[in-house]
Amino acid sequence: MPDILRLILGDQLNKNHSWFSKVDSTVLYCLFEMRQETDYAPHHIQKVVGFFAAMRSFAALLKESGHRIIYFQLDDLNNQQDLEKNIKQLIKEYQIEKFEYQLPDEYRLDEQLKVICQEISIESAAVDSSHFYTTREELGNHFKGKKQWLMENFYRMMRQQHRVLMDGKNPEGGKWNYDASNRKKLPAKHKPTSPFVFNRDVSAIYDMIKSKGVKTVGNIDPKHFLWPINREESLKQLDFFLENCLHLFGDFQDAMAVSEWSMYHARISFSLNTKMLSAKEVIDKSIQYYQENSNKIDISQIEGFVRQIIGWREYMRGIYWAKMPEYSQLNELNHQRKLPEFYWTGKTKMNCLKSAIQQSLEFAYAHHIQRLMVTGNFALLANVNPDEVDEWYLGIYIDAIEWVEMPNTRGMSQFADGGIIATKPYISSANYIDKMSNYCGSCFYDKKRKTGDKACPFNSLYWNFISQHENYLSSNPRMGMMLNLWRKMNGDQKAELLEQANYYLEHINEL
């Protein structure tokens, strides 16, 4: 009989964790597919399938390596669909003497495991997941006593501390940040690299999920699942990006285009967030490839990629652990509107939203500017309750785990945290969307019109937001120019814009 029970969560599929360095017959590892995890939000069907497929693949790998594994599929009769019940059941069944787990990345699960450890009558212990560059507390300690928690300051500290793209004490290339070079629109006849996808048959998992009545959103072709489900496939995904996309990633990382769902993005976030890949190995391998191919890859391309992982990803995790659980309730602007129905269907005449949402439903994926400046931008302008926005982002994307999704949604996208993350609300009219995409050219609405027939909703909603929050925003120096433009408008012009916006908000599900 085993003496120790070790829990592996669905986002802890780290083959290189110290736990697995040697086979120990006294240890029993457990993984569970549970309704507890499928039902707390309406997840994309590809997300549920992807997690289950990756978990099963990882369990099979451990078993092949000689480790003792107990795996509960969703339809197993002895699966009680609850983490606490399953753990207590195994402790009793196998007469376990000690329970161990890796620190979870979600506050919800962290609290649940603390309760479980208090209630079981045996010894328990938690170990680090050995995945991130930073600890949970590191960012909070770094900013302790400071008014602003700027990502750029944290990012520079990370670069220096971990010797990433550094030339002695200075940043390689002479600049810390090449963000200004990362904002190019795709040229009219430019065709991005075709996305690298897998072609796995996951029909058995899909059929099981459907037979158990799990509520999901989005679409899937179960005979041709496109996401990596193990470490080997994840490495292939990364290699493809380095060899075929990195040389233009920086230039076009913010660009958007109709029918181009992948662009030059790596799409390794699912692999990273399930820990099939580690952040350090992605950084190390990417920089090595850049150094070996510096004749064709500019510093601005690799720096933009590094910033996403060693900067934003670690920063968001640090914010999450420093500010939870209060962060999940923040609604600084007191927005209360329900999320428009078209977020769940993609049925809207606004081409940018239709493209981003339909893509999300089809592939469980959208890149950061589609999330921030299209779907997030509209939700913010429309005064949607951040709880509703939060639930949508958490459910629809295959890479969405609360620690990374919530700070991005409530902080960066919806400004619900009042500026902890973003130095200003990320809002725009049609002008920005047109600048970064080809969405507007084939849209039902006219990007240039602010009021009247077929006026782009983003235009009047933008000025309506400025009007609504004028007093609140007046102390924000980054909003000064737009507030001055609003204040200089004559009364009739303002009234017309607000009337147009009000009409659109009253008929929001018809847009």
C-alpha distances (whole Å) from 405 to each of 314, 335, 409 are 12, 19, 6
Q: CA-CA distance, 372 to 359, in Å (whole number)?
A: 15
Give residue-wise pLDDT tens across range 241-257. 999 999 999 889 999 99
Strands 68-72, 27-32: parallel, antiparallel or unpaired by DSSP?
parallel
Looking at the structure, do residues 272 and 252 belong to the same domain, yes or no? yes
In this structure, the answer to whether residues 362 and 414 fall within a common structural domain is yes
In a domain? residue 485:
yes
Q: 187 and 57: one domain? A: no
Note the pLDDT tens digit of each residue in 158-212. 999 999 999 999 999 999 988 877 778 898 889 999 999 999 999 999 999 999 9
Full-model pTM: 0.94
Residue numbers of the domain that contains 143: 138-193+245-323
Residues 357 and 404 in one domain: yes
Examine the pLDDT at 64 and tell me if it is beyond 80. Answer: yes
Same domain, residue pair 308 and 359: no
Q: Give the CATH number, domain containing residue 437.
A: 1.10.579.10
**Residue 232 falls within a domain, yes or no?**
no
| Residue 178 sits in the same domain as residue 306 | yes
R_g of the chain, CA atoms, integer Å: 24
- When pLDDT is averaged across residues 392-405 and rounded to a whole number, the result is 96
Q: What is the per-residue pLDDT for 56? A: 98
Contact 433, 373 (CB under 8 A): yes
Has residue 227 been placed in a domain?
no
Residues 439 and 291 in one domain: no
Residues 249 and 348 in one domain: no
pLDDT category of residue 5 using cuts at 50, 70 and 90: very high
**Is residue 198 one of the residues assigned to a domain?**
no
Same domain, 390 and 497: yes
Q: 85: helix, coil or strand?
A: helix
Same domain (yes/no): 312, 396 = no
Amino acid at 153: N
Say yes or no: 290 and 347 in one domain. no
The pLDDT of residue 183 is 79
Name the domain boundary from 104, 127, 150: 127
Tell whether the model's pLDDT for residue 12 goes beyond 80: yes
DSSP-assigned states of every residue in 439-459: SGGG-SSBTT-SSSTTB-HHH
Give the domain CATH number at 272. 1.25.40.80
Evaluate whether residue 167 is within a structural domain: yes
The H or E element containing residue 70 is: strand 68-72
Residue 477 lies in a domain: yes
Query: In the structure encoding, which two tokens stand for residue 108, read together?
Result: 């919800």
Q: What is the pLDDT of residues 259-290, one digit of tens each?
A: 899 999 999 999 999 999 999 999 999 999 99
What's the gap between Cα 387 and its chain centre?
16
Domain boundary among 106, 127, 148: 127
With residue 98 as reference, give the H or E element that holds it: strand 98-102
| 200 within domain boundaries | no
- What's the domain count of the chain? 3
- Give the model's pLDDT for residue 181: 74
- 358's CB contacts (< 8 A; 6+ apart) are 346
% of the chain exceeding 90 in pLDDT: 94
pLDDT at 69: 97
CATH number for the domain spanning 116: value is: 3.40.50.620
> Which of the 8 DSSP states describes residue 31?
E
pLDDT tens across 309-347, in order? 999 999 999 999 999 999 999 999 999 999 999 999 999
Same domain, 15 and 34: yes
| Residue 206, in any domain of the structure | no
Give the position of tokens 């796995």.
200
pLDDT of residue 494: 94
Q: Given this model, what pLDDT does residue 145 score?
A: 87
Q: Is the pLDDT of residue 1 over 80?
A: no
Last residue of a domain, one of 127, 152, 178: 127
Q: What is the pLDDT of residues 70-121, one digit of tens each?
A: 999 999 999 999 999 999 999 999 999 999 999 999 999 999 999 999 999 8
